[in-house]
């Protein structure tokens, strides 16, 4: 809409000369309301500005009407996610999701709160309680669902903590089961792919396994040197006390040594001194060094506990693993960033399963992903198309055991599909094969079996055959 005398009105707004207001005039059967906006200005201001704009405009109108006719049916698109949330929640048993035994009669409607929560998570992936309260004040979809009520963030917190029976993840799978019964979804085919999301961790909080191992060994050598100096100190004092030198780091042993030194200092009247201008005794210097080294070893032990079976993690987010990502804000120096590997399975455009892992590679995530799918739905899909990042011996054996067709490529698939030339003709994938599966080199000589070994490092035992050609 275009208001007349817009320059005049803008100037009056800046100088607080105009007054604005709206009034509700009518309401139809569908709940749609019609609003009128009126604008008022002082008469002296109108008279002072009429001469400037009278040649371009008609007589100045002090009363402008704006017709606001807002309705959920007209203003919310037909394919909006909010309509799907309302339609699904109308068919479910609300008692499976919300516990009404603790709710007061004057509290917000449980179905309304559930719809708002599901819409926020479906629309944004995640929404805090304060974000939910803000959406109820600013987003027309949330306002219609809430019937123009404005629940506070504390109301959402109480609903999630006290009344919501299932977690958001369980509600996700329950909604999938409902849609599977209502819609013709082909659940026999599950397309799998993964992506990496950066964790909410601080920069430069690296913990690397190799560095931790190296620093711990170096620190343990310092501890042994300090213990040798302690033994030398007691020998010079003609005290029959000698501490052993251990091969492996042992924090408890170092703490026992420091306790014994404290007892010795107390028995001999040696006081602990600290601060500027205080001179430490020789035994206190040895005590402080050993205690500091013991604390460093304890820190490395915590790092190993956070690492688990991984090679890296973050100090501020121990569950995150450092991975290669597309964007590198470390001056583009190819430094890893802490993140998570998120696997998603889709059937007919519906996300059926989600698995969050700390593994850098997709190979290790396939079997846990399928086990979670089986736990949630009670069965496995018949086909799982995926890229070559999932192809491995363990994954193929798992598919064969569970009746899943092999739709996953393996690493080197495209290299094998290339034509044989001078560069790749000596690769095993381009060798000619015999009737019994043997290999023939480009010179025409057949390979012989030299040794057969069994690899048990994976989930399934694998036989490795070493071939040899004596020509």
Span 451-460, pLDDT tens digits:
888 888 888 8
Residue 350 predicted with pLDDT over 60: yes
Alpha helices in 202-281 (DSSP H): 209-236, 251-267
CA distances from 189 to 10, 36, 186, 408 (A): 60, 55, 6, 13
Q: What is the mean pLDDT of residues 128-145?
A: 92
Identify the weakest region by mean pLDDT among 39-43, 90-94, 117-121, 419-423.
39-43
Q: What is the pLDDT of residue 1?
A: 42
Q: What is the pLDDT of residue 311?
A: 92
- Rounded distance between C-alpha atoms, residue 190 and residue 344, angstroms: 9
Strands 33-40 and 439-440: what pairing? unpaired
Q: What is the pLDDT of residue 334?
A: 62
- Rounded distance between C-alpha atoms, residue 254 and residue 266, angstroms: 19
Residue 199 predicted with pLDDT over 60: yes
| Mean per-residue pLDDT of the chain | 82
Report the percent of the chain where pLDDT is more than 70.
83
Confidence of residue 58 (pLDDT cuts 50, 70, 90): low
* Segment holding 171, helix H or strand E: helix 168-182
Which range has highest mean pLDDT (11-20, 49-58, 214-223, 402-411)? 214-223
Residue 3 predicted with pLDDT over 60: no
- Rounded distance between C-alpha atoms, residue 272 and residue 275, angstroms: 10
Identify the weakest region by mean pLDDT among 214-218, 317-321, 334-338, 374-378.
334-338
Query: What SS3 class is residue 80?
Result: coil
Residue 4 predicted with pLDDT over 80: no
Confidence of residue 75 (pLDDT cuts 50, 70, 90): confident
Of 167 and 214, which is predicted with more confidence? Answer: 214
Q: Dihedral sign, CA of 146, 150, 154, 155?
A: negative
Confidence of residue 153 (pLDDT cuts 50, 70, 90): very high
CB 373 within 8 A of CB 190: yes
Taking each helix axis from N to C terminus, what angle separates 168-182 and 81-89, rounded to the nearest 10 degrees?
Answer: 80
Residue 204 predicted with pLDDT over 70: yes
- Rounded distance between C-alpha atoms, residue 315 and residue 306, angstroms: 8
Of 442 and 399, which is predicted with more confidence? Answer: 399
Confidence of residue 135 (pLDDT cuts 50, 70, 90): very high
In DSSP terms, 386 is beta-bridged to 408
Q: What is the pLDDT of residue 21?
A: 47
Residue 438 predicted with pLDDT over 50: yes
Q: What is the pLDDT of residue 330?
A: 57
Structure tokens at 156: 């959402």
Q: What is the pLDDT of residue 354?
A: 94
Q: What is the mean pLDDT of residues 321-331?
A: 73
* Cα radius of gyration rounded to whole Å, the chain: 36
Confidence of residue 329 (pLDDT cuts 50, 70, 90): low
Residue 20 predicted with pLDDT over 60: no
Closest CA to 329 of 162, 204, 191, 184: 204
Query: What SS3 class is residue 392?
Result: coil
Tens digits of residue pLDDT in 84-126: 888 888 888 888 888 888 776 678 888 899 999 999 988 887 8
- Rounded distance between C-alpha atoms, residue 391 and residue 111, angstroms: 45
Tens digits of residue pLDDT in 258-288: 999 999 999 889 888 888 888 889 999 999 9
Q: Residue 293's CB: how many other CB atoms inside 10 A?
A: 22
Q: What is the pLDDT of residue 333?
A: 61
Could you identify the residue written with the tokens 């929560």? 117
Which range has highest mean pLDDT (331-335, 372-376, 458-462)? 372-376
């Amino acid at each position: 809409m275009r208001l007349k005398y817009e320059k005049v009105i803008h100037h009056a707004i800046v100088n607080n000369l105009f007054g604005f207001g709206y009034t509700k005039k009518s309401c139809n059967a569908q709940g749609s309301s019609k609003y009128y906006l009126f604008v008022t200005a002082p008469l002296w201001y109108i008279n002072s500005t009429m001469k400037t704009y009278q040649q371009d405009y008609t007589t100045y109108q002090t009363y402008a009407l704006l017709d606001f006719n807002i309705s959920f049916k007209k203003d919310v698109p037909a394919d909006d996610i909010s309509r799907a949330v309302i339609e699904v929640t109308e068919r479910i048993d609300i008692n499976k999701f919300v516990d009404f035994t603790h709710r007061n009669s004057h509290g917000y409607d449980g179905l309304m709160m559930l719809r708002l929560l599901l819409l926020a998570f479906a629309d944004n992936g995640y929404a805090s309680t304060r974000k939910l309260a803000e959406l109820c004040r600013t987003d027309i979809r949330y306002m219609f669902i809430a019937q123009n009520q404005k629940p506070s963030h504390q109301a959402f917190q109480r609903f999630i903590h006290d009344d919501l029976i299932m977690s958001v993840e369980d509600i996700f799978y329950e909604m999938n089961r409902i849609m599977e019964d209502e819609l013709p979804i082909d659940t026999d085919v599950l397309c799998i792919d993964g992506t990496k999301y950066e964790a909410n961790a601080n920069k430069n909080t690296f913990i690397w396994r190799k560095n931790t191992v190296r620093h711990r060994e170096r620190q343990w050598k310092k501890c042994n040197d300090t213990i040798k100096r302690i033994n030398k100190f007691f020998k010079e004092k003609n005290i029959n006390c000698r501490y052993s030198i251990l091969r492996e780091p042992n924090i408890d042993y170092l703490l026992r040594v420091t306790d014994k030194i404290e007892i010795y200092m107390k028995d001999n009247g040696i006081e602990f001194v600290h601060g500027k201008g205080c001179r430490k005794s020789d035994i206190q210097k040895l005590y402080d060094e050993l205690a500091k080294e013991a604390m460093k070893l304890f820190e490395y032990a915590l790092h190993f506990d956070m690492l688990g079976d991984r090679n890296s993690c973050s100090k501020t987010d121990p569950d995150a693993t450092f991975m290669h990502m597309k964007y590198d804000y470390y001056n583009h120096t190819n430094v890893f960033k802490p993140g998570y590997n998120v696997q998603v399975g889709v059937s007919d455009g519906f996300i059926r399963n989600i698995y969050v892992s700390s593994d850098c590679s997709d190979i290790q995530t396939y079997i846990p992903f399928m086990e979670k799918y089986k736990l949630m739905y009670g069965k496995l899909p018949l086909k799982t198309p995926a890229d070559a990042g999932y192809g491995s011996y363990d994954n193929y054996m798992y598919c064969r055991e569970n009746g899943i067709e092999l739709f996953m490529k393996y690493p080197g698939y495209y290299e094998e599909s290339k034509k044989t030339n001078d560069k790749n003709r000596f690769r095993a994938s381009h060798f000619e094969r015999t009737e019994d599966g043997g290999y023939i080199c480009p010179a025409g000589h057949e390979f012989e079996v030299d040794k057969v070994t069994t690899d048990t490092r994976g989930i399934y035992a694998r036989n490795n055959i070493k071939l040899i050609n004596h020509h």
